[in-house]
Amino acid sequence: MTLARGISETRFSAGIMPAGDGLILKGLAVPYGKPAQLPGFSEQFAPHALRAACEGQDILALQDHDMGKLLGRTRSGTLALHDQPDGLHFTLSLPDTERGREVYALAKRGDLGGVSVGFSDPADEWQGRENRIIHSARLHEISIISAHPAYGETFVEPRSRPVVDSVDLATVRAREIEILRLQCDFS
């Protein structure tokens, strides 16, 4: 296992599931055990690799990794992170501002690209030169993004019902297939 210090990395994930009303978003920020194809290699987060993010760190919620577009944070209680067997889930209470209402409206319409994370100090393992497994990392932020993500399993949705602990896997899989179809331009 190698440990790289101080290098900040970002990973993008896809999948927006519109549903409900309100200014609360929920979703999957990082899937565990699901490889993503990055330029030149495959990468995946091991189960509970980001558990420490749920244990008192101040994690930011941003729009498109822009520090000037703060949407919430764990310190204020507007961002909650939940480490579960399938990945790192989140609940985000958006601010009642123009930006917050805009992000919510885009999520409700299904226009957003997904969720991305910014992390550093990964304790990782390389299997050959093509496969990276991240066993732990220091999470700095999650971002609601407009672009195309690397991890197709992530999603964000407006919430109008109580948060549930499980994700509808059939919906996630259908979303993954649609994203792959669009990326590969299969008709």
Structural domain including 30 reads 2-184
Instruction: Look at residue 173 and tell me whether its pLDDT is greater than 90.
Output: no
Mean of the per-residue pLDDT values of the chain: 78
* pLDDT tens readout for residues 43-87: 999 999 999 999 988 999 999 999 999 999 999 999 999 999 999
Q: What's the mean pLDDT in 150-174?
A: 53
Structure tokens at 97: 């501002």
The residue that leads in pLDDT, 156 or 33, is 33
Q: What's the mean pLDDT in 116-122?
A: 90
Instruction: Look at residue 100 and tell me whether its pLDDT is greater than 50.
Output: yes
What's the farthest any 2 CA atoms get from each other in the chain?
A: 48
Report which of 63, 15, 17, 25 is spatially closest to residue 158, judged by C-alpha positions: 25
pLDDT of residue 148: 63
Report which of 9, 8, 42 is spatially closest to residue 152, judged by C-alpha positions: 42
- Asked if 59 and 74 touch (Cβ cutoff 8 Å), the reply is yes
The residue that leads in pLDDT, 174 or 14, is 174
CA angle 169, 170, 174 (to 5 degrees): 115
Instruction: Look at residue 161 and tell me whether its pLDDT is greater than 90.
Output: no
Determine phi and psi for 181, rounding to 5 degrees. Answer: -60, -45
- Count the domains in the chain: 1
Instruction: Look at residue 40 and tell me whether its pLDDT is greater than 60.
Output: yes
pLDDT of residue 112: 85
CA angle 56, 161, 96 (to 5 degrees): 65
pLDDT of residue 83: 96
**How many Cα atoms sit within 13 Å of 113 on the Cβ side?**
17
Length of the chain: 187
Beta bridge partners of 134: 45, 124
pTM over 0.85: no
Instruction: Look at residue 164 and tell me whether its pLDDT is greater than 80.
Output: no
